[in-house]
Amino acid sequence: MKRARLSRLEQLTILIPFAWLLAFLALPILAVIALAFHEIADSIPPVQPLVSHVNGHWAVHASLRGMQIVTTDPLYIGAFRTALVNAALTTLGCALVGFPLAYAIARAPERRRNLYVLLMILPFWTSFLMRAYAWIGLIRDSGPLNSLLLAVGLIHEPIPILYTPAAVLLVMVYSYLPFFVLPMYAVLEKLPADLLAAAADLGARPWHVFRTVTLPLSLPGLVSGAVLVFVPAVGEYVIPELVGNSDSVMIGGILWEEFFQNRDWPLAATIALGTLGLLVLPALVLRRWFTSMAAARI
């Protein structure tokens, strides 16, 4: 359908969502960018206007204070580092759990695959908060996980898991798992079974088949799954807040605090921009991947 001109209706179907997103998505983000360079003031809202006109004089009040604090203060640098490390570990955890799961679903008899995929997504239709909340009960000192470890004899007294970085990691892997498994499964499912059979027939051992055939071919799923987990994980606020301790404060937490407790809007805006900056790279990686994949297919 290559018609040069768009019909009136087509123009409308493009324009309505476009205008909405410009007004309620692009504009707010521009507002945050501008805010990062405002000076704070003791007023409502707690910032000075960028340009003021007093006694016939125009004055510009712009400041790089936020930028300076975020790039030099150990508190903020530490929160950025924690966020990146946690997101990376979450991605790794999701890969370690998610790859075998996606593989097992993809190798299952065809009529059962959809059921398994459904079973995997189903828990994620129930409230995200609820599932994080359930983990608090499961991993507390007197909870079933500690009881199980005690009963098996792995530990002799309850080990603290709740309110540690390990708890944050566990709940994050749990919460982000489907974002990894779904793209991974989509790729693995299309993997030609003949190819694996051929490699095996030619005498390759299972591990060798996996390393030389399965893994390289499943790379696109691995990459998109990893990005889909990593990106939201960097900005995660709720999970560290619920099951972590003061060591697990991530970017989301400090932004929240600067905004709600300290009422330092420019600093909060700068932190927000920093997060966005961190995520531009993975977004570009994913885009690259999809473009090159699309090009390879044609």
Q: How far is the CB of 216 from another protein (least distance, A)?
A: 20
Q: How far is the CB of 224 from another protein (least distance, A)?
A: 12
Among the candidate windows 59-67, 149-157, 211-219, 276-284, which touches another protein by CB under 8 A?
A: 276-284
Q: Nearest 5 degrees, angle CA 121-CA 123-CA 124?
A: 65
Q: For another protein, how many residues bind (rule: CB under 8 A)?
A: 79
Instruction: Tell me: does residue 213 bind another protein (CB under 8 A).
Output: no
Sites for another protein among residues 190-209 (CB under 8 A): 193, 197, 206
> Could you please report the per-residue DSSP string of 151-207?
HHTS-SSPPP-TTSHHHHHHHHHHHHHHHHHHHHHHHHHHS-HHHHHHHHHTT--HH
Among the candidate windows 15-23, 52-60, 62-70, 218-226, which touches another protein by CB under 8 A?
A: 15-23
Sites for another protein among residues 26-45 (CB under 8 A): 26-29, 31-32, 35, 45
Cα-trace Rg, the chain: 25
Instruction: Tell me: does residue 289 bind another protein (CB under 8 A).
Output: no
For residues 117 and 50, give the distance between their C-alpha atoms in angstroms, rounded to a whole number. 52
What are the structure tokens assigned to 88, written together? 């990376």
Handedness of CA 268, 81, 274, 242 (dihedral sign): negative
Residue 270 near residue 70, CB atoms below 8 Å: yes
Q: How far is the CB of 256 from another protein (least distance, A)?
A: 6
Among the candidate windows 71-79, 119-127, 153-161, 209-217, which touches another protein by CB under 8 A?
A: 119-127
* Nearer of residues 17 and 153 to another protein, judged by Cβ: 17
Residue 196 near residue 209, CB atoms below 8 Å: yes
* Nearer of residues 93 and 222 to another protein, judged by Cβ: 93
The single residue among 39, 116, 166, 263 that binds another protein, judged by CB under 8 A, is 116
Which helix (H) or strand (E) segment is 53 a member of? strand 51-54
For residues 5 and 39, give the distance between their C-alpha atoms in angstroms, rounded to a whole number. 48
Q: How far is the CB of 132 from another protein (least distance, A)?
A: 8
* Nearer of residues 175 and 222 to another protein, judged by Cβ: 175
For residues 278 and 233, give the distance between their C-alpha atoms in angstroms, rounded to a whole number. 12
Q: How far is the CB of 16 from another protein (least distance, A)?
A: 6
Q: How far is the CB of 215 from another protein (least distance, A)?
A: 16
Sites for another protein among residues 56-95 (CB under 8 A): none
Q: What's the chain's length in residues?
A: 298
Helix spans in the chain (H): 8-21, 27-35, 65-72, 74-107, 110-121, 128-139, 144-152, 165-190, 193-201, 206-209, 215-217, 219-234, 238-243, 251-260, 265-297
Instruction: Tell me: does residue 249 bind another protein (CB under 8 A).
Output: no
At 213, which amino acid appears? V
Site pattern 152..191 for another protein (x: CB under 8 A): ----------------------x--x--------------
The single residue among 182, 249, 251, 267 that binds another protein, judged by CB under 8 A, is 251
Sites for another protein among residues 120-149 (CB under 8 A): 120, 122-123, 125-131, 133-138, 144
